[in-house]
Amino acid sequence: MKMNMGLLTLHAGFFVKYIVEGWSLGFPTSFIAIFIPTILYIRGFTRVQPEDHGRPVMFAGGMAILTVSLNSSMMFWSMAYLWVHALIHVLVMIVAPPLIAGARPWKAIWAGIPKSLKSSKAFATSSKMLKAIFTFISTPQIALIYFVGTMWIWFVPSVMAFAVSSQVGMQIMHFTFVTAGMAFFVNMVDTAPYVSRVPSPITRLLHILAAGIASWLAAMFLAFSAPLYPSYASTSIRTLSALGDQQIAASIIWVLCMEPFFYTGYYNIKIFLTRSEDAAAKGTFFDPFKPWIKNQTKA
């Protein structure tokens, strides 16, 4: 009994060690995507009306997922195991973005920016440039292409080797994960005061389905291929075969991608049914494609 308790304590100690050790600041992605928005949100929280707080729990959840994914010991193990890399891929790109977008933190974040900074010429210039860039990548068709391209390109063996062997490559990869996820999901949920550029819930469902199929195809590609990544197979600290590692990675992408797509899809189905019921109560017909047709006509 004492031996069993000793072994249990030893294993628990190793487990805690793996969780506590290995934390680092993933500059600049973590600085831009996590720390600055969080500090500004906390600062602006008391400066706006309660209705402008958004959903603090969702915002905290999204930021916590990004923090653990990009700064914990997961980063170290993602260079040894492909399945950990795939887990970070899914968490940063598909799980965290809809939580952050759905939290609607934008008014609190804006209120958290110091007035002296807002009035500066440099801030005005940089904010216009960033707005123009985000406006471009969040164009619905561009956002979908960027999302699918980011999902696939980092699983190309040569590109994966660049990301695993280079700190610069790793940061570029994580930056594209965050930006592709946010550009896609801000249009799939209503995140006031930002106005979704895909107002039709049916069109949103088609985008979600396309992104989901692309993710599942990536999982199938990994699952049914021979070992593809020499950079992982040659790692000395591994205790898992290259094929087993790759198949676990495929399972993670296949299973964990489903939940965010499912809940985002459910959200839009609910919007569609609510609008249809409201239209029926008024004796009118709800056309889910009408807002999309108007947008195309304006364009």
Residue 1 has pLDDT above 80, yes or no: no
Is pTM beyond 0.85? Reply is yes
Please say if the pLDDT value at position 263 is more than 70: yes
Query: How many Å is the Cα radius of gyration of the chain?
Result: 22
Give φ, ψ of 139 to 5 degrees.
-55, 125
Residue 27 has pLDDT above 90, yes or no: no
Q: What's the pLDDT score for residue 29?
A: 87
* H or E segment to which residue 170 belongs: helix 167-185
User: One-letter amino acid identity for 201?
Assistant: P
The predicted model gives 238-267 an average pLDDT of 92
Model confidence at 242: pLDDT above 80: yes
CB atoms within 10 A of CB 113: 15
pLDDT band, residue 279 (cuts 50/70/90): confident
What is the distance between the alpha carbons of residues 259 and 249, in angstroms, rounded to a whole number? 16
- Mean per-residue pLDDT, 78-100: 94
Residue type, 103: A
What integer pLDDT is reported at residue 275 of this predicted model?
82
pLDDT tens for each residue of 34-72: 999 999 999 999 999 999 999 999 999 999 999 999 998
State mean pLDDT over 254-259: 91
Rounded CA-CA distance 50/173 in Å is 36
Q: In angstroms, rounded to a whole number, what is the distance separating the alpha carbons of residues 165 and 278? A: 55
Per-residue pLDDT, averaged over 154-180, amounts to 93
Residues, the chain: 299
The model's pLDDT over 186-223, given as tens digits with 9 standing for 90+, comes to: 999 999 999 999 999 999 999 999 999 999 999 999 99
Structure tokens given for 219:
């999982």
Per-residue confidence band for 176, with pLDDT thresholds at 50, 70 and 90: very high
Supply the pLDDT for residue 2: 45
Angstrom distance (rounded) from CA 236 to CA 220: 27
The domain locations on the chain are 24-115+136-231+240-285
User: How much is the pLDDT for 219?
Assistant: 96
